[in-house]
Structures are given as C-alpha cells and as structure tokens.
Structure 1
C-alpha cells in the first residue's frame, strides 16, 4: 500500500468513568489510525459505461431481428395468398378448358359411356358429369345442333329428312344465329348458286310467313336479300312460297324465296342433348 492510499486521522479517546463525558485536555489520549482508500461500496464491479453500451447494443440487435422476422412473416403471408389465388385461377381455367374439350369430343358418342382423357393432374380421377353433346356430323352452337345437308331435295322432302333425324328445318331466332349459319355456308357452298332450305314458308297464306313450329316471322328478325321476297312465278305458277339462304358474298342478308319444288340443300336443327358421362383421367 503506498503512501498515497493512506489517510491519516486523529481520534481522541477520553478517560473517565462510565457514562461521564470528559472535557479537559488532560484527559484526552491521541491515537493515529491509518485508513486505506476504497471504492464507493455503492458502485458494483462491472457496472460501468462499457457494460451499459453492450446492453444497449444487444437491445438494438434484438429489435432489428424482431423487425426482420415481422417483415418475413408478412412477406410469406402475401406470397401464400397470391399463390392460392393463382392456383384457384389455374384450376378454373383448367376446368373450363376441359369442358370445352369435352363438348367438342362428345359429338358422336353414346350416352352413359366412359371417356378416357389426358388430364394435367390427379391421375385416375373418376367423376360423373353432364355435358351437352351433338351427334356425329352435327355442329354445336348456342345450345343447338345443326346439320348442313349436302344432298339437293325439295323443301318438303328436306323437312322430312330433318324430322327423321330428330330435328326440323332450322328456325332462326337472332342475328347471332343468322351470322353463325351464314359463316358456315361460306365454307360449305361449292357453287355461287348453292342454296340451303330453312324452315320458313307462306304456303298456307301468301305473305303470312310462318316457321315450321307454327310461329309467325318476327319482322324485327328478317334477313332478306334486296328485292326479296318477290314471289316470282316465271318457273313455277304456284309462285315462291319457301325460303332458302346462301348468297355468295353476303354475310347476313341472304334470304330468298323460291319454288318449294326446287332441289336445294338444307339446314336441319335440333336441341342439344345432355348426357351423363364417367370421365377417367390418366
């Protein structure tokens, strides 16, 4: 212990009887006591500024880690939500594509048979579904099936042939249907003069046009060629009481009246069928 670490102090001890206080200098004894300097007992070892800094740094680090974990959790949640939405969208598109594919492939099949298809997932999946269908040779559009005859026949004979197949000569109810038929005829017409009988006639009463189901022609849905109908009697004294369509270069307005005895091709129509099918994906 160095001299600098020693504190000198004078302590006076008084002589006297018990419980009596001394006051004279003769009764006083001096003693020298050395007291070494020590640190303030209130200050604990290691409780300094460096330790405080360490604790502050640790707190900051923990806060940073907590923030990063929270951000990662949010990012994972957003990613999972987007992935779920994507999967649902893909499933919907897949189902719609499968139905469209089945609608095309079911033509010509018999009800209650089994279809084996190549599916993108879930092998050996079997399920019963109902799908619209048209028989082989018939074309599907808007809930109906159409057959474009390639043989020339009179209007009455053409209608009989359609009935034998479960339908009738076509009844046109909308501009969309007329457009569909006109576009198909552009492909099927072999010659410019080719015509196709439709189910419209005024044979019962001249000028009163009726469809084959007995309903009158809606004047808002007529698609006559310019100048038609004209009931021309040059070739047939009975006039022109039946309607055909199929003018080259005409998309919509292509109806013309003609002699019901003329041998034209024809368009048959019937409702689509709905069958129950067991589908096996492999």
Structure 2
C-alpha cells in the first residue's frame, strides 16, 4: 500500500466571529478552511499493552526419548503380567500334582486293603489246607545280614587275613568265636562253602582248634577236647613242622579248592601265619 492510500483529506470549517468597532459581533460568520491530513492505518488486533507470542499448533513436541520411555514401560508391564500368569500356573500345577499324589496314595491303600481281604478270604475258604512245606532253616531263628545259616548255627566267612589269635578276636567282636566242628554234616557244609569262597589253592581258613597249651592235646575254643573219632585231618597231618617256625604248628586251618577226599582238609599250621577264618554263633 502507497503512502497516498494512507492519507485522507477532509474539509474542516472553522467559524470565527468578527468584532466591529461598536463592540458587537457581526452576524455573518467568517469561514476558514484548513486542510487536515489524517494517516489511515490498518486496525491492530492486539490489545493495548499485550505482547505478541508465537502461535502454538496445539500439540506437544514428540521426542525419541519419550518414545523409548513409552516402549520400555509397555515391555515392563507385559513382563510383570507374564510373570504373574506364570506364577499362577505353577501354583495350579503344584496343586494338581499334590492332588494326583493324594489320589494315588488312596488307590494304593485301597488296593492293599482289598488284597489283604482277598487273601484272608481265601485262607478261610480253604476246606482242606495242605501241610506247609518246611524249607531248610525256615523253622529256626534267622541269622543277621552277612552271616550264612545252617541248621541252628550262623557262619561268617571272613575276608580279612589275620593270625589265629587276631581272627578269634574278630569273631568275638561279632558275637561269636572261631568255628567248632561237631559233626560230619557240619564238616560237609563248611567244606562245600569254602570251595566257593577260596580265591586260590593257598586261600585257607582258620578254625577253632589248637594244641598251643600242650603239644598233641587238641582243644576247641570252648575248652572241649577233640573227638578223635570225628577228625578230618589231611593225610600225614598233623606233623608240627618246624621248617618255617621253630615253635612248630599249633593251630588248625582248613580248605581245599579242588575238594578233599572224604572231607579230609585239616592242616596244622603256625599260629603266626595270616589266613582268613570261619566264625560261628547260634542263630
């Protein structure tokens, strides 16, 4: 817009009275015209005294940092929810397992009770029961673990190699003593057992027979004398050989890996040698 466009010309008439000499005002007015230039400007939309501010677009500024925070918050919320559901599922699973276990125990108890009832019923219903079959050693008290039973006696075949005296101490610590053979049947049982337990032909076992108190007088560990009609000496035994021990051979060991004719497998031996042993005690 040019400067001329902002100027408005207006005729303003001013009236000024004239004085006459007589001091009275003239009735005619003298008119004076003056040119007044007024600059026309565009009206302002601002209020007086206000400051002009940039116009906002009405929205907040979105930054990458805010986007990252929003995404992390969403992931954290999802993780918390997932953990909550997982914990709840585990709790339900544990409760289910416990319920199944209780049911299984109840079924087992039920089956056990039914089996007992059926067994009792069958026993009562038998009109002609058969006589029980008595197995060997069944009617006798039982031997403890590690001991082998024959009749009313229990036998322990030691795996330790001790002198005759130390072997006897081991048997006593176990509640017995070195074996005392009182019958051919007992000798047969022991001779067969030793064939199974001997590792080689030199693997021998001490028994509870000695003449250490008086040479030639054989006594069992309980002090009873040897029954000379019930002996199982190997041919030419006992010989009290002093080739290895000047004190001679005062204790007895037994055992033949290949088996002995007529069960004769007793040998006198130096009590200082180390052998395995046979312990015995009542069942």
One of 186, 194, 199 as aligned partner of 1:185: 194
Query: Is the counterpart of residue 93 in structure 1 residue 104 in structure 2?
Result: no
- The 2-side partners of 1:131 and 1:247 are apart by 30
Residue in structure 1 matched with residue 9 of structure 2 by the alignment: none
Matches within 5 A, 1:143-222: 143-222=152-231
Encode CA deviations 1:230-262: one digit per residue, 9 max, x unaligned: 001111010000000002223410000000010
One of 261, 265, 276 as aligned partner of 1:254: 265
Query: Is the counterpart of residue 242 in structure 1 residue 242 in structure 2?
Result: no
- The 2-side partners of 1:142 and 1:245 are apart by 21
Matches within 5 A, 1:70-85: none
Larger radius of gyration: 2
- The 2-side partners of 1:261 and 1:197 are apart by 11
- The 2-side partners of 1:261 and 1:221 are apart by 26
Query: Is the counterpart of residue 137 in structure 1 residue 146 in structure 2?
Result: yes
> Which fold has the larger relative contact order, with Cα–Cα distance below 8 Å and residues 6 or more apart in sequence?
1
> Whose strand fraction is larger, Structure 1's or Structure 2's?
1
Provide the secondary structure at the position in 2 that maps to 1:234.
Answer: coil
- The 2-side partners of 1:131 and 1:139 are apart by 13
Runs of 4+ residues over 6 Å off in structure 1: none
- TM-score using structure 1 length: 0.53
Question: May I ask how many residue pairs the two structures share in their alignment?
Answer: 156
Compute the displacement of 1:182 (Å). 0.2
- The 2-side partners of 1:239 and 1:156 are apart by 16
Compute the displacement of 1:131 (Å). 5.3
Compute the displacement of 1:133 (Å). 1.2
Provide the secondary structure at the position in 2 that maps to 1:256.
Answer: strand
- The 1-side partners of 2:142 and 2:132 are apart by 21
Residue in structure 2 matched with residue 264 of structure 1 by the alignment: 275
CA RMSD of aligned residues (A): 1.8
Gaps of 5+ in 2: 1-125
